[in-house]
Amino acid sequence: MRKANLFVNGKEAGTLTELELGKKYRIEYAEGYSGAPISLTLPLVQKTYAFDSFPPFFDGLLPEGYQLEGLLKIGKVDRNDLFSQLIAVGDDLVGNVTVKEVLA
Protein backbone atom coordinates (compact mmCIF):
# COMPACT_ATOMS: atom_id res chain seq x y z
CA MET A 1 0.00 0.00 0.00
CA ARG A 2 1.45 3.33 -1.09
CA LYS A 3 0.47 6.76 0.16
CA ALA A 4 0.97 10.35 -0.88
CA ASN A 5 0.25 13.56 0.97
CA LEU A 6 -1.87 16.05 -0.94
CA PHE A 7 -1.30 19.78 -0.55
CA VAL A 8 -3.53 22.64 -1.71
CA ASN A 9 -1.86 26.06 -1.83
CA GLY A 10 0.99 24.59 0.27
CA LYS A 11 -1.34 23.43 3.05
CA GLU A 12 -1.71 19.71 3.76
CA ALA A 13 -5.20 18.77 2.62
CA GLY A 14 -5.23 14.98 2.82
CA THR A 15 -3.85 11.71 1.49
CA LEU A 16 -4.10 9.58 -1.61
CA THR A 17 -3.74 5.87 -0.82
CA GLU A 18 -3.27 3.09 -3.33
CA LEU A 19 -5.15 0.22 -1.65
CA GLU A 20 -4.63 -2.33 -4.42
CA LEU A 21 -1.84 -1.95 -6.99
CA GLY A 22 -3.27 -0.07 -9.95
CA LYS A 23 -6.87 -0.85 -9.01
CA LYS A 24 -8.26 0.70 -5.82
CA TYR A 25 -7.57 4.16 -4.44
CA ARG A 26 -8.83 6.32 -1.60
CA ILE A 27 -8.62 10.06 -1.05
CA GLU A 28 -9.11 11.27 2.52
CA TYR A 29 -9.17 14.85 3.67
CA ALA A 30 -7.00 15.60 6.71
CA GLU A 31 -8.78 15.98 10.04
CA GLY A 32 -9.74 19.61 10.49
CA TYR A 33 -8.80 20.69 6.96
CA SER A 34 -10.95 23.63 5.89
CA GLY A 35 -9.14 25.15 2.92
CA ALA A 36 -9.97 24.90 -0.75
CA PRO A 37 -10.99 21.44 -1.99
CA ILE A 38 -8.42 19.31 -3.80
CA SER A 39 -10.74 19.47 -6.81
CA LEU A 40 -14.25 20.71 -7.49
CA THR A 41 -15.09 17.03 -8.06
CA LEU A 42 -13.91 16.28 -4.48
CA PRO A 43 -15.88 18.74 -2.32
CA LEU A 44 -15.22 18.98 1.40
CA VAL A 45 -18.76 17.89 2.29
CA GLN A 46 -17.46 14.33 2.03
CA LYS A 47 -14.21 13.44 3.83
CA THR A 48 -13.38 10.17 2.01
CA TYR A 49 -13.61 9.22 -1.66
CA ALA A 50 -13.08 5.70 -3.05
CA PHE A 51 -12.11 4.85 -6.63
CA ASP A 52 -11.95 1.56 -8.54
CA SER A 53 -9.36 3.05 -10.89
CA PHE A 54 -6.83 5.87 -10.73
CA PRO A 55 -8.70 9.04 -9.63
CA PRO A 56 -9.69 11.00 -12.76
CA PHE A 57 -8.60 14.35 -11.30
CA PHE A 58 -5.02 13.13 -10.89
CA ASP A 59 -5.04 11.24 -14.19
CA GLY A 60 -5.75 14.56 -15.89
CA LEU A 61 -2.64 16.10 -14.31
CA LEU A 62 -0.22 13.48 -15.65
CA PRO A 63 2.11 14.29 -18.55
CA GLU A 64 1.38 13.13 -22.08
CA GLY A 65 3.29 12.79 -25.33
CA TYR A 66 6.98 13.73 -25.26
CA GLN A 67 6.86 14.70 -21.59
CA LEU A 68 5.46 11.29 -20.65
CA GLU A 69 8.04 9.48 -22.77
CA GLY A 70 10.82 11.47 -21.10
CA LEU A 71 9.44 10.72 -17.63
CA LEU A 72 9.19 7.00 -18.38
CA LYS A 73 12.73 6.82 -19.76
CA ILE A 74 14.61 9.14 -17.39
CA GLY A 75 12.60 8.31 -14.26
CA LYS A 76 12.46 4.60 -15.08
CA VAL A 77 8.74 4.59 -14.36
CA ASP A 78 6.39 1.93 -15.69
CA ARG A 79 3.88 3.26 -18.23
CA ASN A 80 1.01 1.60 -16.34
CA ASP A 81 2.08 2.81 -12.88
CA LEU A 82 0.09 6.04 -12.68
CA PHE A 83 0.75 6.44 -8.95
CA SER A 84 4.53 6.53 -9.53
CA GLN A 85 4.06 8.95 -12.42
CA LEU A 86 2.08 11.26 -10.15
CA ILE A 87 4.76 11.10 -7.45
CA ALA A 88 7.46 11.87 -10.03
CA VAL A 89 5.75 15.07 -11.19
CA GLY A 90 3.91 15.91 -7.95
CA ASP A 91 5.93 19.06 -7.20
CA ASP A 92 5.26 20.49 -10.66
CA LEU A 93 1.56 19.97 -11.30
CA VAL A 94 -0.68 22.46 -13.07
CA GLY A 95 -2.79 24.38 -10.57
CA ASN A 96 -2.59 24.66 -6.79
CA VAL A 97 -2.20 20.98 -5.85
CA THR A 98 1.09 19.25 -5.06
CA VAL A 99 1.71 15.61 -4.20
CA LYS A 100 4.49 14.14 -2.05
CA GLU A 101 5.03 10.46 -1.42
CA VAL A 102 4.78 9.21 2.15
CA LEU A 103 7.88 7.08 2.72
CA ALA A 104 7.38 4.08 4.98
- Predicted TM-score (pTM) of the model is 0.90
Over residues 59-69, the pLDDT tens digits come to 998 988 988 88
* Residue 99 falls in which region: left (phi positive, over 0), alpha (psi -120 to 50) or beta: beta
Between 29 and 1, name the one with better pLDDT: 29
Q: Which of 30, 28, 23, 21 is nearest to 2 (CA)?
A: 21
Nearest to 71, CA basis, from 87, 94, 54: 87
Residue type, 4: A
- Which phi and psi (to 5°) does residue 32 adopt? 85, 0
| Position 86 pLDDT exceeds 90 | yes
